[in-house]
Structure 1
């Protein structure tokens, strides 16, 4: 623009008396007017911009100069939102400097250094996971040890996904010919609870992402994969997945939940871990609903069914009791009374009537082939606690009578008195549950004297399937 174009109309006749200056009156004026020279002048961009992102030192720099110039010229802010972040320091909290040799090269994190043993290639996903995991509102630290810890979190997420995929090979989702999915209304309480947890986590992740709280979203995903899935649901589900017959209700209902968790998990991690998410999506072993061929085509949380919270109080209590039983088992293991948790029986007294009522509904019968009405073989306390027998008794004295004092304790989480002892009966060679009928029959239909009836019938079902 020449002088005449720059001057107001009433001064243009005297344009020759004016000279356009090329000096910048303010160090931030050029970048502060980028909303006019960049955002507003390009069709593919928007004015005001959705977001301005910079370090916290820009509050009196780019953010302020952009605001002042835009308000002065257009009467409105050049951005809808501003997001600031701290600075990246080394893992000891010092400023990075070439002279100190503490600079972390992002490309080395992704591609590795010359010595791959000392500087392995972690890939872009691990670096992205670190970025999403830290609280960017303050200064953040990075270094070899921190990246190693981040990789461990990444590895756990990947292993969880592999486990889910590995147990869905013969699953056919709802709406497909030959569907093996169990309708929601028919699912056991534990499975409905798990789906409720999944929906709750996905809502939390979605809200956190919308609020730019990426560390909150990431921690929610990590906590769900570790605490809810790996440490509880999948641990308990091993009996259903590995021991049950191929078309057994217990197995198919579990697969229905695993499929929902896998798809929700892939979509939730996609903004942070795009390579892992797409890897999961391309390896889902069943045909999915819709036409999307990529995890990024379906949107998030679009396409995911919403599940309500079911029996949260019940399963929170069971998890607390499980922690208390496991603590009681520590002493029994140390004294060689039991090895694996399935070697044990537990005696439990609940002083709280409400707690007793909840647990009463989960005791059921030891026969998982022909359970009574109140037990479906899934909502069963012994399988949830991963021990062979559970006995609810009327007093703490009854617990002490059945168990050695060394293995009796007041549960810190459940509030119940818990005692453990050696399980009665014999160990099934297949499912490892102890049962008083193992080894006591000569029935020709059994595959061996060390199998329980449940495993015998499960083997029959697998052989008929193949």
Structure 2
């Protein structure tokens, strides 16, 4: 970067953030902006010496004897005032007191009432009664005016400059005090106008002799600021004082406020890299996508990067300086020589070796004229160049491993604050040295918060030890051990806002897996799986939902959005499995014969769902996934779940015709309404369990009603209304059922989601017949078989095939 001209040094010509508490320059990434900062702001007057060339004769007469009203939240910078900025697009006015001192001031018209109220003692001040407006004038009429500084004895008149790019009517007076030695915008505007910057403040944040007015040695952020305000008041130019709460930078290490001052520093030229850095981002994917906009805004708006620090530790900037001129010596020869020394002896060699040993042979004769630089590198420059060793070398000379270039990285992963830190410093250094970004993807995550909502920080001491979550504390009741999987699931769920705690979600997933494993006992999908084309509607719908889950989770994993995986799996377990499929399938899984096609169909779906869920859950909860994998009732394809391959959907699973999807929407809508009616029926004493109910259903759409009738007539256990709703009997009606004695009905027609114009009505009554002692369904066929008088028509052949004795009523 030095050889390409990206590194330069300025002496007293560029302001930087400076931390008096730690005695060093700071980069923007090392600043914090805590809440609650209050500055002792002041309103001061600066007497006009002459009007600008753009003022009319009437305006010039009004300006005679007037002072510019200035406002600053940093009164300690007033000794460094060298100019005032106005906006050419704003209107200003000259106001005069009606009595008393008859002060005459220049303020922005838009801020006139607010400023004069503060000068008059508060919001209740009658501004109109105490001040009169002599004239208004545009900002252009003030340009070129000359004024005297707010502190008497200041050297010479100062100019009024055009600061339209940052002067606003949001606060203050509309005229901005410029201290080029203590502000970035101040410096840029003053430098363009040829106005010199002064900075009468030392490394400890104390005024130097150049500040004058008896200020030498006073801390600018303490008694120095008070002394400046007192000096302004003694000169009769203090208009008002008030505390002002605003955003102010602090040193992130000492947690103390910083200042801005000009000092000798090394800089990396961001202006020379900005275009290439922004262009390099075109080849980078950001997760989330807003990260790109954030880093683009920061790179696009940042000033040149101050890369030097004044610390007693750190990586040195390998520069030599001529004693007399102060000119730096740092070129290809010196850099190569120092690099070889550091490779052999480490960075401490810069501090330990005499200057003669650090200089290459051609410069050793000049050693007496030179001194070693004492500046260290900004740690962000240090970490921002980590790609140069981590990605580019890869090998080790010690063990003979050959280098294996891996630049750029597949992924950079850090917190959301690193758009201004590591992500940005890595981008700038890599673009400067390699011409490209050091990463293909950038993932940013949020912060871990404490119970009060504050970011957990080692320096604050409010962190939670992950081991306490996994292993528990001394008091097992107050600090239970949750294990690693619960902690991992919590990490994956941090953006999720449902009421359920993660430990409950973990138990839900675990119990769902256990239910599926238990009902797959003795089943081998390689031998007994039902072909997809032979599966019933409900089974095919469920595999369609499994395919959707796989797609959703894979997309989320690709984007590193683990909370979306967590949400999808939780939603699938609760909504698709527990609340519907597993609930509705219990009857055929528990009641039908082991080799029944309906039962095999359910097991086929359970096996496919289990395999998919284990692969999807494994990255989040590996211990749980491995436990379930070890319990598979068929020969596992690999020793570990991580060797079993990614979750994959058969293409046939995604092929669910629109007509079939409409039927499923209707079944699910009917199930939802039946569940709602059950509560009313129980309250009315009509039924106890859901199997004591029978339902009558009317669907307004004739075509949809006909397709539902076909399902009912086919008698497939999994697809009939009664089995989908877990009631004993169901009938499809051609007309809407009316309310009758001993029944509860849908109060109003219910729309079927996704089926435009289709509505349904449901009536619930008590089921006819007797209860089967085996399946607990009510049927008029119970008692029809003399050998098994207490069984229904479905249970008789199963029990007969098993050769078991006839169940009795007592067995129920």
Q: Shared fold by TM > 0.5?
A: yes
Q: 1:420 aligns with which of 755, 764, 780?
A: 764
Following TM superposition, by how much is the alpha carbon of 1:460 offset from its aligned partner in structure 2, in angstroms? 2.5
Q: Hey, what's the Cα distance between the residues in 1 that align with 2:528 and 2:613?
A: 21
Structure-2 residue corresponding to 1:434: 778
Q: 1:362 aligns with which of 711, 723, 729?
A: 711
Does the C-alpha gap of structure 1 residues 425 and 20 become closer, same or farther in structure 2, counting only changes over 3 Å? Answer: farther
Structure-2 residue corresponding to 1:461: 801
Q: Hey, what's the Cα distance between the residues in 1 that align with 2:459 and 2:383?
A: 31
Q: 1:242 aligns with which of 590, 609, 617?
A: 590
Q: 1:166 aligns with which of 491, 494, 518?
A: 518
- Contact 1:96 / 1:102 at 8 angstroms: preserved in 2? yes
Q: Hey, what's the Cα distance between the residues in 2 that align with 1:411 and 1:24?
A: 77
Q: Hey, what's the Cα distance between the residues in 1 that align with 2:702 and 2:363?
A: 93
Q: Hey, what's the Cα distance between the residues in 1 that align with 2:644 and 2:363?
A: 59
Q: Choose between structure 1 and 2: higher helix proportion.
A: 1
**Could you report, residue by residue, the CA deviation over 1:351-386 in whole angstroms, capped at 9, with x for unpaired residues?**
22243233222222xxxxxxxxx3333221211111
Q: Hey, what's the Cα distance between the residues in 2 that align with 1:408 and 1:376?
A: 26
Verify: 1:63 aligned to 2:411, yes or no: no
Does the C-alpha gap of structure 1 residues 103 and 402 become closer, same or farther in structure 2, counting only changes over 3 Å? Answer: same
**Could you report, residue by residue, the CA deviation over 1:330-349 in whole angstroms, capped at 9, with x for unpaired residues?**
11111221011111111111
Query: 1:115-154 maps to which residues of 2 (within 5 A)?
Result: 115-135=475-495, 149-154=501-506
Verify: 1:327 aligned to 2:676, yes or no: yes
Query: 1:35-434 maps to which residues of 2 (within 5 A)?
Result: 35-43=387-395, 46-96=406-456, 103-135=463-495, 149-174=501-526, 179-288=527-636, 290=637, 292-301=638-647, 305-306=650-651, 307-310=653-656, 311-364=660-713, 374-396=714-736, 399-400=737-738, 404=742, 406-414=744-752, 415-434=759-778
Verify: 1:26 aligned to 2:378, yes or no: yes
Following TM superposition, by how much is the alpha carbon of 1:236 offset from its aligned partner in structure 2, in angstroms? 0.7
SS state of the match for residue 731, structure 2? Answer: strand
- Contact 1:208 / 1:214 at 8 angstroms: preserved in 2? yes
Following TM superposition, by how much is the alpha carbon of 1:442 offset from its aligned partner in structure 2, in angstroms? 5.5
Following TM superposition, by how much is the alpha carbon of 1:405 offset from its aligned partner in structure 2, in angstroms? 6.5
Q: Hey, what's the Cα distance between the residues in 1 that align with 2:557 and 2:533?
A: 31
Moved more, 88-97 or 453-462: 88-97
Does the C-alpha gap of structure 1 residues 106 and 413 become closer, same or farther in structure 2, counting only changes over 3 Å? Answer: farther
Q: Hey, what's the Cα distance between the residues in 2 that align with 1:335 and 1:101?
A: 59
Moved more, 454-463 or 28-37: 454-463
Q: Hey, what's the Cα distance between the residues in 1 that align with 2:782 and 2:334?
A: 105
- Contact 1:332 / 1:407 at 8 angstroms: preserved in 2? no
RMSD: 2.8
- Contact 1:347 / 1:419 at 8 angstroms: preserved in 2? yes
Q: Hey, what's the Cα distance between the residues in 2 that align with 1:244 and 1:350?
A: 30
- Contact 2:698 / 2:735 at 8 angstroms: preserved in 1? yes
Does the C-alpha gap of structure 1 residues 60 and 437 become closer, same or farther in structure 2, counting only changes over 3 Å? Answer: same
SS state of the match for residue 88, structure 1? Answer: coil
Q: Hey, what's the Cα distance between the residues in 2 that align with 1:86 and 1:15?
A: 51
SS state of the match for residue 732, structure 2? Answer: strand
Q: Hey, what's the Cα distance between the residues in 2 that align with 1:108 and 1:154?
A: 18
Following TM superposition, by how much is the alpha carbon of 1:90 offset from its aligned partner in structure 2, in angstroms? 2.2
Q: Hey, what's the Cα distance between the residues in 2 that align with 1:350 and 1:428?
A: 30
> What's the TM-score, normalizing by structure 1?
0.86
Q: Hey, what's the Cα distance between the residues in 2 that align with 1:20 and 1:164?
A: 72
Q: Hey, what's the Cα distance between the residues in 2 that align with 1:236 and 1:86?
A: 41
- Contact 1:250 / 1:378 at 8 angstroms: preserved in 2? yes
SS state of the match for residue 394, structure 1? Answer: coil
SS state of the match for residue 220, structure 1? Answer: helix
Compare relative contact order (CA 8 Å, sep 6+) and give the higher one, 1 or 2. Answer: 1
Following TM superposition, by how much is the alpha carbon of 1:21 offset from its aligned partner in structure 2, in angstroms? 4.6
Q: Which runs of 5+ in 1 are unaligned?
A: 365-373
Following TM superposition, by how much is the alpha carbon of 1:45 offset from its aligned partner in structure 2, in angstroms? 7.4
- Contact 2:592 / 2:798 at 8 angstroms: preserved in 1? yes
**Could you report, residue by residue, the CA deviation over 1:371-409 in whole angstroms, capped at 9, with x for unpaired residues?**
xxx33332212111111111111222xx11556574433
Following TM superposition, by how much is the alpha carbon of 1:42 offset from its aligned partner in structure 2, in angstroms? 1.3
- Contact 2:450 / 2:463 at 8 angstroms: preserved in 1? yes
How many residue pairs align between the two structures?
Answer: 433
Q: Hey, what's the Cα distance between the residues in 1 that align with 2:477 and 2:733?
A: 57
Moved more, 455-464 or 110-119: 455-464
- Contact 1:172 / 1:286 at 8 angstroms: preserved in 2? yes
Does the C-alpha gap of structure 1 residues 395 and 285 become closer, same or farther in structure 2, counting only changes over 3 Å? Answer: same
SS state of the match for residue 473, structure 2? Answer: coil
- Contact 1:324 / 1:411 at 8 angstroms: preserved in 2? no
**Could you report, residue by residue, the CA deviation over 1:296-321 in whole angstroms, capped at 9, with x for unpaired residues?**
0133135x534224232221221111
> What's the TM-score, normalizing by structure 2?
0.50
- Contact 2:535 / 2:601 at 8 angstroms: preserved in 1? yes
Following TM superposition, by how much is the alpha carbon of 1:427 offset from its aligned partner in structure 2, in angstroms? 1.0
Q: Hey, what's the Cα distance between the residues in 2 that align with 1:406 and 1:347?
A: 10
Moved more, 10-19 or 265-274: 10-19
- Contact 1:348 / 1:393 at 8 angstroms: preserved in 2? yes
Q: Hey, what's the Cα distance between the residues in 1 that align with 2:803 and 2:362?
A: 99
**Could you report, residue by residue, the CA deviation over 1:153-188 in whole angstroms, capped at 9, with x for unpaired residues?**
0000000000010011110222xxxx2221222111
**Could you report, residue by residue, the CA deviation over 1:398-422 in whole angstroms, capped at 9, with x for unpaired residues?**
x115565744333545331111000
Q: Hey, what's the Cα distance between the residues in 1 that align with 2:745 and 2:460?
A: 56
Does the C-alpha gap of structure 1 residues 80 and 428 become closer, same or farther in structure 2, counting only changes over 3 Å? Answer: same
- Contact 1:388 / 1:434 at 8 angstroms: preserved in 2? yes
- Contact 2:698 / 2:760 at 8 angstroms: preserved in 1? yes
**Could you report, residue by residue, the CA deviation over 1:84-103 in whole angstroms, capped at 9, with x for unpaired residues?**
12211124423447999864
Does the C-alpha gap of structure 1 residues 15 and 53 become closer, same or farther in structure 2, counting only changes over 3 Å? Answer: farther
Q: Hey, what's the Cα distance between the residues in 2 that align with 1:451 and 1:301?
A: 42
